[in-house]
Protein backbone atom coordinates (compact mmCIF):
# COMPACT_ATOMS: atom_id res chain seq x y z
CA UNK A 1 0.00 0.00 0.00
CA UNK A 2 1.37 3.44 -0.96
CA UNK A 3 -0.28 6.52 0.54
CA UNK A 4 0.45 10.06 -0.62
CA UNK A 5 -1.77 12.23 1.56
CA UNK A 6 -1.54 11.33 5.24
CA UNK A 7 -4.66 12.21 7.20
CA UNK A 8 -4.41 13.37 10.84
CA UNK A 9 -5.48 9.87 11.89
CA UNK A 10 -4.18 7.49 9.19
CA UNK A 11 -5.63 4.01 8.71
CA UNK A 12 -4.09 1.04 10.46
CA UNK A 13 -0.38 0.88 9.67
CA UNK A 14 1.35 -2.42 8.97
CA UNK A 15 4.95 -3.46 8.44
CA UNK A 16 5.59 -3.31 4.68
CA UNK A 17 3.27 -0.35 4.05
CA UNK A 18 4.71 2.48 1.95
CA UNK A 19 4.14 6.17 2.53
CA UNK A 20 5.27 9.52 1.15
CA UNK A 21 6.52 11.52 4.12
CA UNK A 22 7.96 14.97 4.76
CA UNK A 23 10.81 14.95 7.29
CA UNK A 24 11.25 17.80 9.73
CA UNK A 25 13.95 16.77 12.20
CA UNK A 26 17.19 14.80 12.44
CA UNK A 27 18.37 12.59 15.30
CA UNK A 28 22.03 12.49 16.32
CA UNK A 29 22.30 8.95 14.91
CA UNK A 30 21.45 10.36 11.47
CA UNK A 31 17.82 9.21 11.28
CA UNK A 32 15.38 11.66 9.79
CA UNK A 33 12.12 12.17 11.70
CA UNK A 34 8.71 12.31 10.03
CA UNK A 35 5.16 11.69 11.26
CA UNK A 36 2.20 9.53 10.36
CA UNK A 37 -0.46 11.27 12.37
CA UNK A 38 0.75 11.02 15.96
CA UNK A 39 3.24 8.27 15.13
CA UNK A 40 6.90 9.30 14.80
CA UNK A 41 8.71 7.63 11.89
CA UNK A 42 12.51 7.29 11.92
CA UNK A 43 14.37 6.69 8.68
CA UNK A 44 18.02 6.85 7.62
CA UNK A 45 18.55 8.97 4.52
CA UNK A 46 16.15 11.92 4.52
CA UNK A 47 17.23 15.31 5.85
CA UNK A 48 14.91 17.94 7.33
CA UNK A 49 12.85 19.70 4.63
CA UNK A 50 12.96 16.60 2.40
CA UNK A 51 10.14 14.35 1.21
CA UNK A 52 10.70 10.65 0.55
CA UNK A 53 8.88 7.45 -0.27
CA UNK A 54 9.53 5.05 2.63
CA UNK A 55 8.56 1.51 3.65
CA UNK A 56 7.73 0.64 7.27
CA UNK A 57 10.10 -2.05 8.61
CA UNK A 58 9.49 -1.90 12.38
CA UNK A 59 6.34 -0.86 14.18
CA UNK A 60 6.03 -0.03 17.89
CA UNK A 61 3.30 1.59 19.95
CA UNK A 62 4.72 5.12 19.72
CA UNK A 63 7.08 5.04 16.75
CA UNK A 64 7.99 3.23 13.55
CA UNK A 65 11.25 2.66 11.65
CA UNK A 66 11.26 2.90 7.88
CA UNK A 67 13.60 2.36 4.93
CA UNK A 68 13.92 5.06 2.29
CA UNK A 69 12.86 3.81 -1.14
CA UNK A 70 13.17 7.03 -3.11
CA UNK A 71 13.91 10.67 -2.39
CA UNK A 72 11.13 12.82 -3.81
CA UNK A 73 12.41 16.32 -3.01
CA UNK A 74 15.80 17.38 -1.70
CA UNK A 75 17.03 19.85 0.88
CA UNK A 76 19.20 22.80 -0.21
CA UNK A 77 21.72 21.50 2.35
CA UNK A 78 22.11 18.05 0.76
CA UNK A 79 25.51 17.23 -0.74
CA UNK A 80 26.99 14.14 -2.37
CA UNK A 81 28.79 12.00 0.27
CA UNK A 82 32.53 11.85 -0.33
CA UNK A 83 32.95 8.25 0.92
CA UNK A 84 31.68 5.23 -0.99
CA UNK A 85 31.00 3.39 2.28
CA UNK A 86 28.65 6.09 3.64
CA UNK A 87 25.27 4.57 4.41
CA UNK A 88 26.73 1.14 5.16
CA UNK A 89 29.64 1.93 7.48
CA UNK A 90 28.46 3.15 10.89
CA UNK A 91 31.28 5.65 11.39
CA UNK A 92 29.62 8.73 9.86
CA UNK A 93 26.00 9.83 10.03
CA UNK A 94 25.73 13.13 8.12
CA UNK A 95 28.11 13.15 5.16
CA UNK A 96 25.07 13.91 3.00
CA UNK A 97 24.67 17.30 4.75
CA UNK A 98 26.84 20.30 3.88
CA UNK A 99 29.39 21.18 6.52
CA UNK A 100 27.88 24.62 7.31
CA UNK A 101 24.51 22.93 7.80
CA UNK A 102 26.07 20.31 10.09
CA UNK A 103 27.37 23.10 12.33
CA UNK A 104 24.00 24.86 12.47
CA UNK A 105 22.21 21.57 13.19
CA UNK A 106 24.60 20.69 16.01
CA UNK A 107 23.99 24.07 17.62
CA UNK A 108 20.26 23.31 17.58
CA UNK A 109 20.91 19.83 19.06
CA UNK A 110 22.63 21.48 22.05
CA UNK A 111 20.00 24.22 22.35
CA UNK A 112 17.10 21.76 22.23
CA UNK A 113 18.67 19.46 24.83
CA UNK A 114 19.22 22.34 27.25
CA UNK A 115 15.63 23.47 26.84
CA UNK A 116 13.82 20.12 26.76
CA UNK A 117 15.89 18.12 29.23
CA UNK A 118 17.53 20.82 31.34
CA UNK A 119 14.57 23.19 31.48
CA UNK A 120 17.03 25.97 30.62
CA UNK A 121 15.22 28.61 28.60
CA UNK A 122 16.74 31.79 27.26
CA UNK A 123 20.27 30.33 27.21
CA UNK A 124 22.45 31.68 24.39
CA UNK A 125 24.16 28.79 22.62
CA UNK A 126 27.02 30.08 20.53
CA UNK A 127 27.71 29.07 16.96
CA UNK A 128 29.62 25.78 16.79
CA UNK A 129 33.35 26.35 16.35
CA UNK A 130 34.32 24.20 13.35
CA UNK A 131 37.11 21.68 13.17
CA UNK A 132 40.20 22.97 11.36
CA UNK A 133 39.51 20.14 8.93
CA UNK A 134 36.13 18.59 8.18
CA UNK A 135 37.89 15.53 6.72
CA UNK A 136 41.27 13.90 7.40
CA UNK A 137 41.12 14.94 11.05
CA UNK A 138 41.01 11.68 13.02
CA UNK A 139 44.38 10.55 14.47
CA UNK A 140 43.26 7.13 15.71
CA UNK A 141 41.61 4.14 14.04
CA UNK A 142 40.32 0.82 15.38
CA UNK A 143 39.79 -1.68 12.57
CA UNK A 144 37.69 -4.80 13.09
CA UNK A 145 39.03 -8.12 11.76
CA UNK A 146 36.48 -10.80 10.95
CA UNK A 147 35.05 -13.32 8.55
CA UNK A 148 37.19 -15.22 6.10
CA UNK A 149 37.68 -18.97 5.89
CA UNK A 150 40.07 -21.68 4.76
CA UNK A 151 40.16 -20.35 1.21
CA UNK A 152 39.82 -16.62 1.89
CA UNK A 153 41.52 -14.18 4.28
CA UNK A 154 39.57 -12.36 7.02
CA UNK A 155 37.96 -9.04 6.20
CA UNK A 156 39.06 -5.69 7.61
CA UNK A 157 36.85 -2.67 8.28
CA UNK A 158 34.20 -1.15 10.55
CA UNK A 159 30.86 -2.32 11.89
CA UNK A 160 27.61 -1.38 10.23
CA UNK A 161 25.70 1.00 12.49
CA UNK A 162 24.04 -0.75 15.47
CA UNK A 163 25.20 -4.20 14.30
CA UNK A 164 28.24 -6.47 14.45
CA UNK A 165 28.12 -6.90 10.68
CA UNK A 166 31.49 -6.09 9.13
CA UNK A 167 31.73 -3.47 6.39
CA UNK A 168 35.06 -4.00 4.63
CA UNK A 169 37.05 -0.87 3.80
CA UNK A 170 40.33 -0.16 2.06
CA UNK A 171 40.40 3.58 2.74
CA UNK A 172 38.71 6.08 5.08
CA UNK A 173 38.67 9.81 4.22
CA UNK A 174 38.07 10.77 7.86
CA UNK A 175 41.50 9.50 8.91
CA UNK A 176 44.68 11.54 8.71
CA UNK A 177 46.69 10.47 5.65
CA UNK A 178 49.24 8.49 7.67
CA UNK A 179 46.51 6.27 9.12
CA UNK A 180 44.66 5.92 5.83
CA UNK A 181 47.88 4.61 4.29
CA UNK A 182 48.12 2.01 7.08
CA UNK A 183 44.52 0.91 6.43
CA UNK A 184 45.26 0.34 2.76
CA UNK A 185 48.46 -1.58 3.46
CA UNK A 186 46.89 -3.76 6.14
CA UNK A 187 44.10 -4.58 3.72
CA UNK A 188 46.53 -5.69 0.98
CA UNK A 189 48.89 -7.53 3.37
CA UNK A 190 46.05 -9.96 4.25
CA UNK A 191 46.96 -11.78 1.06
CA UNK A 192 50.57 -12.48 2.10
CA UNK A 193 50.94 -16.12 3.09
CA UNK A 194 53.57 -15.27 5.71
CA UNK A 195 51.12 -12.99 7.55
CA UNK A 196 48.05 -15.21 7.23
CA UNK A 197 48.24 -16.59 10.78
CA UNK A 198 48.42 -13.05 12.20
CA UNK A 199 45.14 -12.04 10.57
CA UNK A 200 43.39 -15.20 11.72
CA UNK A 201 44.11 -14.52 15.42
CA UNK A 202 43.68 -10.73 15.32
CA UNK A 203 40.48 -9.11 16.61
CA UNK A 204 41.39 -5.46 16.04
CA UNK A 205 44.14 -3.36 14.52
CA UNK A 206 44.42 -0.10 16.49
CA UNK A 207 46.71 2.62 15.15
CA UNK A 208 47.44 6.18 16.25
CA UNK A 209 49.30 8.89 14.33
CA UNK A 210 51.10 12.06 15.41
CA UNK A 211 50.99 15.27 13.40
CA UNK A 212 54.04 16.50 15.33
CA UNK A 213 56.39 13.76 14.07
CA UNK A 214 54.45 12.31 11.11
CA UNK A 215 54.71 8.75 12.42
CA UNK A 216 52.29 6.12 13.75
CA UNK A 217 52.18 3.17 16.12
CA UNK A 218 50.14 -0.03 15.77
CA UNK A 219 48.64 -2.43 18.31
CA UNK A 220 47.05 -5.77 17.40
CA UNK A 221 44.38 -7.06 19.78
CA UNK A 222 44.06 -10.81 20.38
CA UNK A 223 42.24 -12.95 22.95
CA UNK A 224 45.53 -14.11 24.50
CA UNK A 225 49.20 -13.31 24.02
CA UNK A 226 49.98 -14.31 20.45
CA UNK A 227 53.17 -16.13 19.39
CA UNK A 228 51.91 -15.88 15.79
CA UNK A 229 52.12 -12.08 15.91
CA UNK A 230 55.44 -12.12 17.78
CA UNK A 231 57.01 -14.23 15.03
CA UNK A 232 56.12 -11.85 12.19
CA UNK A 233 56.04 -8.46 13.97
CA UNK A 234 59.45 -7.37 12.69
CA UNK A 235 58.51 -8.35 9.12
CA UNK A 236 55.17 -6.51 9.39
CA UNK A 237 56.95 -3.41 10.68
CA UNK A 238 59.17 -3.43 7.59
CA UNK A 239 56.06 -3.50 5.38
CA UNK A 240 54.47 -0.47 7.12
CA UNK A 241 56.44 2.71 6.35
CA UNK A 242 56.27 5.47 9.00
CA UNK A 243 55.05 3.01 11.64
CA UNK A 244 57.44 3.24 14.60
CA UNK A 245 56.47 0.05 16.38
CA UNK A 246 54.01 -2.80 16.89
CA UNK A 247 52.46 -4.11 20.12
CA UNK A 248 50.26 -7.06 21.02
CA UNK A 249 47.24 -6.10 23.13
CA UNK A 250 45.59 -9.13 24.72
CA UNK A 251 43.19 -10.35 27.41
CA UNK A 252 40.25 -8.01 26.60
CA UNK A 253 37.83 -7.39 29.46
CA UNK A 254 34.76 -8.26 27.35
CA UNK A 255 33.73 -9.52 23.95
CA UNK A 256 33.18 -5.91 22.79
CA UNK A 257 36.45 -4.50 24.15
CA UNK A 258 38.76 -3.08 21.49
CA UNK A 259 41.93 -3.15 23.59
CA UNK A 260 43.20 -5.84 25.97
CA UNK A 261 44.19 -5.39 29.59
CA UNK A 262 47.79 -6.45 28.82
CA UNK A 263 50.24 -4.96 26.31
CA UNK A 264 53.52 -6.30 24.93
CA UNK A 265 55.84 -4.36 22.62
CA UNK A 266 56.93 -6.70 19.83
CA UNK A 267 58.91 -4.51 17.46
CA UNK A 268 60.21 -0.95 17.51
CA UNK A 269 58.82 1.73 19.86
CA UNK A 270 55.10 1.89 20.60
CA UNK A 271 54.80 5.49 21.77
CA UNK A 272 54.73 8.69 19.73
CA UNK A 273 54.70 12.33 20.74
CA UNK A 274 52.01 14.91 20.00
CA UNK A 275 52.18 18.62 20.83
CA UNK A 276 49.18 20.87 21.49
CA UNK A 277 49.61 24.52 22.50
CA UNK A 278 53.20 23.84 23.48
CA UNK A 279 52.37 20.90 25.77
CA UNK A 280 54.02 17.59 24.86
CA UNK A 281 52.04 14.36 25.12
CA UNK A 282 53.64 10.93 24.73
CA UNK A 283 50.88 8.55 23.66
CA UNK A 284 50.33 4.99 22.49
CA UNK A 285 47.48 3.24 20.64
CA UNK A 286 45.68 2.54 23.94
CA UNK A 287 46.09 6.09 25.31
CA UNK A 288 43.13 8.10 26.54
CA UNK A 289 43.87 10.97 24.17
CA UNK A 290 41.62 13.10 21.96
CA UNK A 291 41.36 12.08 18.30
CA UNK A 292 41.13 15.64 16.90
CA UNK A 293 44.02 17.70 18.35
CA UNK A 294 43.07 20.71 16.20
CA UNK A 295 39.81 21.12 18.10
CA UNK A 296 41.52 20.52 21.45
CA UNK A 297 43.78 23.46 20.58
CA UNK A 298 40.67 25.59 20.02
CA UNK A 299 39.28 24.58 23.41
CA UNK A 300 42.61 25.47 25.01
CA UNK A 301 42.58 28.85 23.27
CA UNK A 302 39.07 29.59 24.51
CA UNK A 303 40.08 28.88 28.10
CA UNK A 304 43.40 30.69 27.95
CA UNK A 305 42.12 34.07 29.17
CA UNK A 306 40.61 32.49 32.27
CA UNK A 307 44.09 31.23 33.15
CA UNK A 308 45.82 34.61 32.82
CA UNK A 309 46.77 34.33 36.48
CA UNK A 310 47.52 31.11 38.40
CA UNK A 311 44.41 29.26 39.57
CA UNK A 312 43.69 26.39 41.91
CA UNK A 313 41.98 23.79 39.75
CA UNK A 314 40.45 20.36 40.32
CA UNK A 315 40.09 18.26 37.15
CA UNK A 316 37.55 15.43 37.48
CA UNK A 317 37.55 12.51 34.99
CA UNK A 318 40.99 13.77 33.91
CA UNK A 319 41.89 10.76 31.74
CA UNK A 320 45.55 10.93 30.73
CA UNK A 321 45.74 14.54 31.88
CA UNK A 322 45.26 16.35 28.57
CA UNK A 323 43.62 19.39 30.19
CA UNK A 324 45.36 19.12 33.58
CA UNK A 325 48.74 19.49 31.89
CA UNK A 326 47.58 22.50 29.90
CA UNK A 327 46.30 24.17 33.07
CA UNK A 328 49.59 23.44 34.84
CA UNK A 329 51.63 24.73 31.89
CA UNK A 330 49.67 27.99 32.18
CA UNK A 331 50.84 28.31 35.80
CA UNK A 332 47.93 26.82 37.73
CA UNK A 333 48.11 24.14 40.43
CA UNK A 334 45.98 21.13 39.52
CA UNK A 335 44.60 17.97 41.12
CA UNK A 336 43.42 15.44 38.53
CA UNK A 337 41.22 12.47 39.45
CA UNK A 338 40.72 9.48 37.14
CA UNK A 339 39.60 5.93 37.86
CA UNK A 340 41.74 4.21 35.21
CA UNK A 341 45.21 3.50 36.67
CA UNK A 342 46.84 3.18 33.25
CA UNK A 343 45.62 6.66 32.29
CA UNK A 344 46.95 8.07 35.55
CA UNK A 345 50.37 6.51 34.96
CA UNK A 346 50.43 8.07 31.52
CA UNK A 347 49.39 11.46 32.93
CA UNK A 348 52.19 11.32 35.51
CA UNK A 349 54.75 10.41 32.85
CA UNK A 350 53.65 13.32 30.67
CA UNK A 351 53.81 15.68 33.64
CA UNK A 352 57.47 14.71 34.03
CA UNK A 353 58.02 15.02 30.27
CA UNK A 354 56.90 18.66 30.52
CA UNK A 355 58.55 19.40 33.88
CA UNK A 356 55.17 20.02 35.50
CA UNK A 357 55.23 17.42 38.28
CA UNK A 358 55.46 20.16 40.94
CA UNK A 359 52.22 21.82 39.78
CA UNK A 360 49.99 18.84 39.04
CA UNK A 361 49.08 15.75 41.03
CA UNK A 362 47.00 12.81 39.83
CA UNK A 363 44.90 10.37 41.86
CA UNK A 364 43.66 6.98 40.63
CA UNK A 365 40.15 6.72 42.10
CA UNK A 366 36.50 6.61 41.12
CA UNK A 367 35.40 10.23 41.02
CA UNK A 368 32.13 9.70 42.92
CA UNK A 369 34.06 8.03 45.73
CA UNK A 370 37.04 10.40 45.75
CA UNK A 371 34.91 13.54 46.24
CA UNK A 372 33.61 12.11 49.52
CA UNK A 373 37.11 11.80 51.00
CA UNK A 374 37.94 14.63 53.45
CA UNK A 375 41.18 15.61 51.75
CA UNK A 376 39.54 15.81 48.31
CA UNK A 377 36.54 17.71 49.71
CA UNK A 378 39.02 20.21 51.15
CA UNK A 379 40.66 20.64 47.72
CA UNK A 380 37.23 21.26 46.20
CA UNK A 381 36.52 23.99 48.78
CA UNK A 382 39.85 25.64 47.94
CA UNK A 383 39.43 25.36 44.16
CA UNK A 384 38.80 28.45 42.08
CA UNK A 385 37.86 26.37 39.02
CA UNK A 386 36.37 22.89 38.81
CA UNK A 387 36.92 21.33 35.38
CA UNK A 388 35.05 18.16 34.52
CA UNK A 389 35.06 16.14 31.31
CA UNK A 390 32.96 13.05 32.13
CA UNK A 391 32.25 10.08 29.86
CA UNK A 392 29.16 10.04 27.64
CA UNK A 393 26.92 9.00 30.57
CA UNK A 394 27.71 12.30 32.26
CA UNK A 395 28.44 12.85 35.91
CA UNK A 396 26.35 11.61 38.85
CA UNK A 397 24.42 13.10 41.75
CA UNK A 398 27.08 12.18 44.34
CA UNK A 399 29.79 14.06 42.43
CA UNK A 400 27.60 17.03 41.55
CA UNK A 401 26.34 17.20 45.13
CA UNK A 402 29.92 17.38 46.42
CA UNK A 403 30.65 20.24 44.02
CA UNK A 404 27.56 22.10 45.21
CA UNK A 405 28.44 21.61 48.87
CA UNK A 406 31.96 22.90 48.23
CA UNK A 407 30.52 25.98 46.48
CA UNK A 408 33.28 25.92 43.87
CA UNK A 409 33.01 29.44 42.39
CA UNK A 410 33.59 28.44 38.74
CA UNK A 411 32.74 25.23 36.91
CA UNK A 412 34.01 24.48 33.42
CA UNK A 413 32.04 21.48 32.13
CA UNK A 414 33.16 19.87 28.87
CA UNK A 415 30.62 17.36 27.55
CA UNK A 416 30.45 14.96 24.61
CA UNK A 417 26.69 14.34 25.02
CA UNK A 418 24.13 17.19 25.04
CA UNK A 419 21.45 15.09 26.77
CA UNK A 420 23.52 14.15 29.83
CA UNK A 421 25.00 17.65 29.89
CA UNK A 422 21.50 19.13 30.08
CA UNK A 423 20.54 16.72 32.87
CA UNK A 424 23.61 17.66 34.93
CA UNK A 425 23.16 21.39 34.31
CA UNK A 426 19.57 21.08 35.57
CA UNK A 427 20.95 19.74 38.87
CA UNK A 428 23.59 22.46 39.16
CA UNK A 429 21.31 25.35 38.26
CA UNK A 430 18.72 24.04 40.74
CA UNK A 431 21.40 24.26 43.42
CA UNK A 432 22.66 27.80 43.11
CA UNK A 433 24.71 27.90 39.90
CA UNK A 434 24.14 30.12 36.88
CA UNK A 435 25.10 29.32 33.30
CA UNK A 436 27.65 31.64 31.71
CA UNK A 437 28.99 30.57 28.30
CA UNK A 438 27.73 27.67 26.17
CA UNK A 439 30.25 27.01 23.40
CA UNK A 440 29.92 23.91 21.17
CA UNK A 441 32.88 22.54 19.20
CA UNK A 442 32.81 20.21 16.21
CA UNK A 443 35.22 17.57 17.49
CA UNK A 444 33.82 14.92 15.10
CA UNK A 445 32.78 16.35 11.69
CA UNK A 446 30.48 14.20 9.54
CA UNK A 447 29.00 12.55 12.66
CA UNK A 448 26.18 13.36 15.04
CA UNK A 449 28.57 14.03 17.94
CA UNK A 450 29.13 17.51 19.35
CA UNK A 451 31.46 18.64 22.15
CA UNK A 452 30.22 21.48 24.36
CA UNK A 453 32.03 23.63 26.92
CA UNK A 454 29.80 25.31 29.51
CA UNK A 455 30.88 27.72 32.24
CA UNK A 456 28.90 28.07 35.44
CA UNK A 457 29.54 30.39 38.36
CA UNK A 458 28.51 30.74 41.98
CA UNK A 459 29.30 33.45 44.55
CA UNK A 460 32.70 34.51 43.28
CA UNK A 461 32.16 37.65 41.27
CA UNK A 462 35.79 38.71 40.87
CA UNK A 463 36.97 35.33 39.56
CA UNK A 464 33.79 34.86 37.55
CA UNK A 465 34.16 38.27 35.89
CA UNK A 466 37.75 37.52 34.86
CA UNK A 467 36.92 34.09 33.52
CA UNK A 468 33.75 35.13 31.70
CA UNK A 469 35.44 38.16 30.12
CA UNK A 470 38.13 35.87 28.74
CA UNK A 471 35.57 33.52 27.25
CA UNK A 472 33.63 36.44 25.78
CA UNK A 473 36.64 37.37 23.63
CA UNK A 474 36.23 34.32 21.40
CA UNK A 475 37.16 35.04 17.77
CA UNK A 476 34.57 34.35 15.05
CA UNK A 477 34.50 30.81 13.65
CA UNK A 478 37.19 30.03 11.10
CA UNK A 479 36.26 28.02 8.05
CA UNK A 480 37.89 24.60 7.50
CA UNK A 481 40.54 24.70 4.79
CA UNK A 482 39.13 21.57 3.12
CA UNK A 483 35.52 22.75 2.80
CA UNK A 484 34.18 24.26 -0.40
CA UNK A 485 31.13 25.97 1.15
CA UNK A 486 30.78 29.74 1.43
CA UNK A 487 32.95 31.05 4.28
CA UNK A 488 30.93 34.20 4.85
CA UNK A 489 27.92 33.00 6.83
CA UNK A 490 26.07 30.02 8.22
CA UNK A 491 22.90 29.05 6.32
CA UNK A 492 19.52 29.48 8.00
CA UNK A 493 19.07 25.82 8.99
CA UNK A 494 16.46 25.59 11.71
CA UNK A 495 15.26 22.23 13.03
CA UNK A 496 11.63 22.55 13.93
CA UNK A 497 10.09 21.04 17.05
CA UNK A 498 8.79 17.50 16.73
So which residues are the catalytic ones? 416
d(CA 210, CA 214): 5
Q: What is the DSSP letter of 22?
A: E
Could you give the 3-state DSSP secondary structure of residue 12?
coil
Nearest of 218, 199, 198, 221 to residue 209 by alpha carbon: 218
Question: By the 8 A CB rule, do 175 and 91 touch?
Answer: no
Q: Quick check: 182 and 140 in contact, CB under 8 A?
A: no
The SS3 call for residue 386 is strand
From CA 34, how far away is CA 42, in angstroms rounded? 7
The three-state secondary structure class of 24 is strand
User: Ramachandran region of residue 192, left (φ > 0), alpha (ψ -120 to 50) or beta?
Assistant: beta
Which helix (H) or strand (E) element contains residue 46?
Answer: none
- Helices then strands, counting H and E runs in the chain, come out as 12, 22
Residues 6+ apart with CB under 8 A from 140: 179, 206, 207, 208, 209, 285, 289, 291
Q: What is 271-312 written as a DSSP string?
A: -EEEEETTEEEEE-TT----S-HHHHHHHHHHHHGGGSS--E
- Alpha carbons 436 and 330: distance in angstroms, whole number: 22
Q: How many CB atoms are located within 10 Å of the residue 70 CB?
A: 11
State residue 430 phi and psi, 5-degree precision: -80, -10
Phi–psi pair at 33, nearest 5 degrees: -120, 120
Partner residues linked to 441 by β-bridges: 129, 451
Residue 315: Cβ-neighbour burial (10 angstroms; 0-12, 13-18, 19+): buried
Q: Give the separation between CA 204 and CA 78, rounded to whole angstroms.
A: 34
Radius of gyration of the chain (CA): 24
- b vs e for 216-228, b when ≥16 Cβ sit within 10 Å of the residue's Cβ? bbbbbbbeeebeb
Q: Measured between alpha carbons, how far is 294 from 125 in angstroms, rounded to an integer? A: 22
> What SS3 class is residue 219?
strand
Amino acid sequence: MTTKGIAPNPPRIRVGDEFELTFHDLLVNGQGVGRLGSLAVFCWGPLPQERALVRITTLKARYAVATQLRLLSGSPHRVVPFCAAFGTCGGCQVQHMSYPAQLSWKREVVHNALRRIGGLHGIDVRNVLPSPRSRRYRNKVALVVGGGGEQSPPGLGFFRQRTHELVEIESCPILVPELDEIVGRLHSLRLEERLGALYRVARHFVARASAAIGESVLSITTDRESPEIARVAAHLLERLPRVRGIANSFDPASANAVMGREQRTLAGATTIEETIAGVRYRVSPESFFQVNPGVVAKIFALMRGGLAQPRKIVDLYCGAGTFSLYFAAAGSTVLGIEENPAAVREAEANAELNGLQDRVKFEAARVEEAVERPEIAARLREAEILFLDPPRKGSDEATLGAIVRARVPNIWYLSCDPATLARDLKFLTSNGYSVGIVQPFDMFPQTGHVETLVTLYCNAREIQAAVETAFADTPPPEWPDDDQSSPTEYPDFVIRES
